A and B are shown apart, each in its own frame.
Chain A
C-alpha cells in the first residue's frame, strides 16, 4: 500500500477525457489556480472532434463562424498552454475510488497502464465514452484476448517468432505488418479488398514485402478461431473466392477501427441514467461530492450535446471545484479582459 502511495501522482484535479470539454476545463480551472492532469485513451487530444470529424466544419462555436474539428482542438490546446496541463495519452482510467469525505473529498484513480493519481476533485469529461477497438464477431474471440488476440501492440516481444495474422487495410494494420515483420516468424495480412486506406508509402512497402515473399497477403475475412486455454492455434479464412482454409497462427490482430463504449465509467459507483451521469445545473456535480461530469457524458433537463454546452458547464463546475481545493480562499469574480491577476496567469500581462 505504501509503495502505491509513493508512486502516486499528486494533483488538484484529474480530468478524464481530452475532448473539447476536458480541454476547456483545464482553462477554467487554471484561472482558479487548480492544476490539472488530463488522461485519454486516445493517442491525442480532441475527443470526437479529432477522432470522428477532424476535417469537417463546425459552424456553431460562438465567435468562430467556422472551424474544423482539428482546428478547434488545436486552438483549445493553444488556449490552455499557459496552465501547463500534464497529458497522459493512450491510457484508460479504470478505477475511481473515493478516499475523503463530503467536505474534504479526495480520490484515487488508476489507469490501465498502472499509473495511480491522487486528486482533490475529479472532472469526468468522458463524452460518449472511451474510444475502444472494435471487436469482430468471431465466436469465442474473447477467450483469446490479451493472450493470443491483440488489438494493439504493447510489447513487441509478445510476437517474436510467432505466426501472426493481421486483419485490416488501414494504417494500424499496415504499420504493424511492417513493424512486426522482422520480429515475427511469419505474417499473413488479410483484407477484404486489394485496396488500402493506409498511407501510400506503407502500402508500397507492404507490397514489396509480399513480392519478395516475406509476408503473405490474402483476400477475404477471418470467420472463426481455433485453439485452447487462450492459446490460439489457427484462424479460419474465408476467401473472397469462397475457398475456406485454415491459417496456422498463434497471434491474431484485427484492426476494425474504434467505437465509443461507456467503458469503466459505469463501474465507478455513480448514479447513471441511460449511460449518462445526471448532474445539477448549478455546479455540474454528480451524486458524489467532488466528482463533476461535464460535456456529452452528463445529463440534466434540457441538455444539448453541443460543444458550447460543455464550455458553459466547465466554467460553472470550476467555481465549485475551487471551494474543495481552496476551502479557505474566497473566490472573486473577474474578467480576463481587465484583471491583472488573471492576465498574469495567462502570461499576457
Chain B
C-alpha cells in the first residue's frame, strides 16, 4: 500500500477502504505475525499483523485502545506513539529524522519511543511487544 493512501484509509472504515482500494489481498495466504500491545494499565492484547502493513494499521484494524493515529499514518500527528519492548528495539530499528522530529510532539518520550505508523510489519517482527502511553493527544 502506498503511504499516501493510508491517510484516506484511516479516515474511512477499513471495510470501506478495503472495497475502495482492494486492500485485502486476493488469493495466496498472507503472511501474518503476532503483535502484542500492552496498554498503560498493563493489559495485554495480542493480534495478527499482516506483513507489509504498518503496526498502526494493525492496531486500528483490531481496535487497540490508546492508539489515536489522527493523521492516518502521515507521520504528522504523533498520536500513534508506542514504547518498544527492549528485546525488540534492535529489530524494529531507529526512528528516521522525520519521525524523531514528530516525536517532539508526543508526551513522555523515552529512548524506546516510536511512532508505530512508521514501523512496517515484517516476518522477523513475529512476537513484537509494544506498550502504549496513557495519553496520545
A residues in contact (CB < 8 Å) with B: 52-53, 56-60, 128, 134, 136-137, 168-170, 191-193, 195, 197, 221, 256-257, 259-260, 296, 304-306
Contacts and interface: CB of A to CB of B under 8 A. Distances in A.
B101 interface: yes
Contacts of A305: 8, 11-12
Contact of A257 (B7, B78, B100): B78
B134 to A, nearest CB: 7
A300 to B, nearest CB: 14
21 contacts: A52-B7, A52-B76, A52-B77, A56-B4, A58-B4, A60-B8, A134-B105, A137-B107, A137-B134, A137-B135, A168-B104, A197-B101, A256-B104, A256-B105, A257-B78, A259-B70, A259-B79, A259-B137, A304-B16, A304-B20, A306-B8
Interface in B62-108: 70-71, 74, 76-79, 100-101, 103-108
Given A137-B135, A168-B104, A169-B104, A53 B74 contact: yes
B105 A195 contact: no
B109 interface: yes
Contacts of B71: 52-53
A304 B78 CA distance: 24
A271 B8 CA distance: 26
A257 B75 CA distance: 13
A305 B135 CA distance: 26
Given A128-B70, A134-B137, A170 B104 contact: yes
A137 to B, nearest CB: 4
A58 B137 CA distance: 26
Main secondary structure of the interface of A (DSSP, over half): loop
Given A53-B71, A137-B108, 18 more contacts: A52-B76, A52-B77, A53-B76, A59-B4, A134-B137, A137-B135, A192-B109, A195-B100, A197-B101, A197-B104, A221-B108, A256-B106, A257-B77, A257-B104, A259-B70, A259-B137, A260-B70, A304-B20
A306 B134 CA distance: 30
A60 B9 CA distance: 13
A256 B107 contact: yes
6 tightest CB-CB pairs across the interface, nearest first?
A257-B105, A259-B137, A197-B101, A305-B11, A137-B135, A52-B76
Nearest to A137: B135
A134 B20 CA distance: 33
A296 B20 CA distance: 18
A234 to B, nearest CB: 20
A260 B16 CA distance: 22
Interface string B32-75: 00000000000000000000000000000000000000110010
Contacts of B79: 259
A305 to B, nearest CB: 4
A259 B77 contact: yes
Give the residue among B7, B20, B107 with the most A Cβ atoms within 10 A: B107
B74 A56 contact: yes
A231 B71 CA distance: 35
B65 to A, nearest CB: 16
A191 B79 CA distance: 19
A321 to B, nearest CB: 26
Contacts of B137: 134, 259
Contacts of B4: 56-59
Interface string B3-27: 0100110011000100010000000
Contacts of B135: 137
Nearest to A197: B101
Nearest to A132: B137
A52 B100 CA distance: 17
A58 B77 CA distance: 18
A37 B86 CA distance: 53
Contacts of A56: 4, 7, 74
B61 to A, nearest CB: 17
Contacts of A304: 12, 16, 20
Interface in B110-137: 134-135, 137
